[in-house]
Amino acid sequence: MKIVGVSACTVGIAHTYMAKKAMEEECAKRGFECKVEAQGGMGIEDELTQEDVDSADLVIETIDVGIEGEDRFEAKVAEGRLLKVGTADAIANAAAVLDQALALIGGAEAVAAEQPAAAEAPEPAAEPAKATAAPGGPKPAAKQSIFAEPGKTLLNAFNTGVSYFIPIVVIGGVFLAFSLASGTAGANGMEVTNPFMVSLNTIGMAGISMMIPVLAAYIAYSMAGKPALAPGFVLGYLVNNAVVTPSGSSVSTGFLGAMIMAVICGYFVRWMKTWKVNDTINTIMPILIIPILTSLVLGMAYIYILATPLGYVMDWLTAALGSLQGGSAVVLGLVIGVMTAFDMGGPINKTASTFTMALMASSIYGPNGMFRVAVAVPPLACGIASLIARNKFDDADRQMGISAIFMGCIGITEGAIPFAVKDLAHTLPGICIGSAVGAGLAAFQGIDCYVPHGGFIVALATSNVGLFCLDIVIGALVGAAILVVMKPKLDKAN
């Protein structure tokens, strides 16, 4: 039995490689040949060749985002030999994922065929269920629908957009944090005067300015492939800058407009790809006709139809969230804190991140302050707990804890993942409550964070350095205390 696969998570750091390892180890236990391609933050590793794919009995995609080279698996999709699951599914229970994949082809019969010495082959299974391609991926032409599996398609697309724009956020956030740290608080926020820091600020702002176009482009790309990439960039730039509507008003819709227009772009390009044209026209469709028509039609539709109502929605949202004070703000902080820790860098965490950055575009920095406190708490809580409760964590846990503390200091929530994978039931409550406490305190104190990154490294780019750091520490200590209380003792103390 030969199995190939692809692993890719939203950030391309932790989940990608953990899912890859889980599937490879499970296949090794069963004596199956296995090769899993990782599409992570460093690019493609252990790349599958077309020969690898053609000779495989099964393809298993453990992915949370759109992937490169989806067309390699078109034949396997048509044969019902492709299974797509999330990275978390493979990490949590690789055996169940492999069983599900084997069921597609009648796993028992396949194993029996390779083991002729078995006493008796089982009866042929009923016709196996057919697997489906990843949302937005290729399918047999006769069965394809541009609106197939809309929920999965959109979730996959948004995760892909976030995955590609995170490095842009990091560039902008880190450079802005360092430049703003040298400034002084003024009426319009942090004012930077040092010439070198002004230049650093300019580079950081270039990164921030690219966030929304990159987000829109890769949402569209996930849904409709390369032909949607160029119009996605154009539409993302369009919504991120003020346009004059027929009524004469100037409107910029930011993140909200980018996500809506990217989805429309994805479906529009999908539709155009179904057009029946002659071979000559077909060769220029992806590089000329689709980009130009999509940008023209949807750009005009945005300016003349969608910009005004979307602008009203953004104005209402900005006013409503900007007026939150006291208890209402704390409730928002608690919700953001729980969302941040719940899947430790996964789609729910990225939803909270996108929400806060959307508000930053409207000069509302409070929710971002809540989120940037919360992102640091889970890994810090796990690291602290592993170091102080020596009768509940082993040496491997303590080594992971040191790394987790470092990752928490620089605002990388994924540092808590190894602890959650090992013992989710006793880890998740603590980190969720700790993050909620930290974010709730930041909300109550009205702490603003002016950059799209978190942890202690951006403390100088907040409205109150001391309270920002204190809230992270309090949240981490609360989370660590809950972890220590809930965690059972080891069978043998270390």
Chain centre distance of CA 14: 12
Instruction: Give CA–CA dist 373/462, Å, rounded.
Output: 11
Q: Is 449 assigned a catalytic role?
A: no
DSSP 459: G
C-alpha closest to that of 58 among 35, 90, 41: 35
Instruction: Give CA–CA dist 266/125, Å, rounded.
Output: 39
C-alpha closest to that of 357 among 462, 452, 453, 257: 452
Instruction: Give CA–CA dist 356/368, Å, rounded.
Output: 5
Are the beta carbons of 232 and 157 closer than 8 angstroms? no
**Interacting residues of 167 by C-beta distance below 8 A, sequence separation 6+:** 41
Instruction: Give 464's Cβ-side CA count (13 Å radius).
Output: 18
* Element counts in the chain: helices (H) and strands (E): 21, 9
Are the beta carbons of 391 and 350 closer than 8 angstroms? no
Residue 324: which region, alpha, beta or left (left: phi > 0; alpha: psi -120 to 50)? beta
Residue holding tokens 């996108």? 354
Selecting among 9, 27, 382, 432, the annotated active-site residue is 9
C-alpha closest to that of 75 among 138, 168, 155, 17: 138
- At residue 472, what are phi and psi to the nearest 5 degrees? -60, -45
**Interacting residues of 259 by C-beta distance below 8 A, sequence separation 6+:** 158, 161, 215, 216, 219
Instruction: Give CA–CA dist 57/55, Å, rounded.
Output: 7
Burial code (b: 16+ CB inside 10 Å, e: under 16) for 326-360 equals eeebbebbbbbbbbbbbbbbbbebbbbbbbbbbbb
Catalytic residue numbers read 9
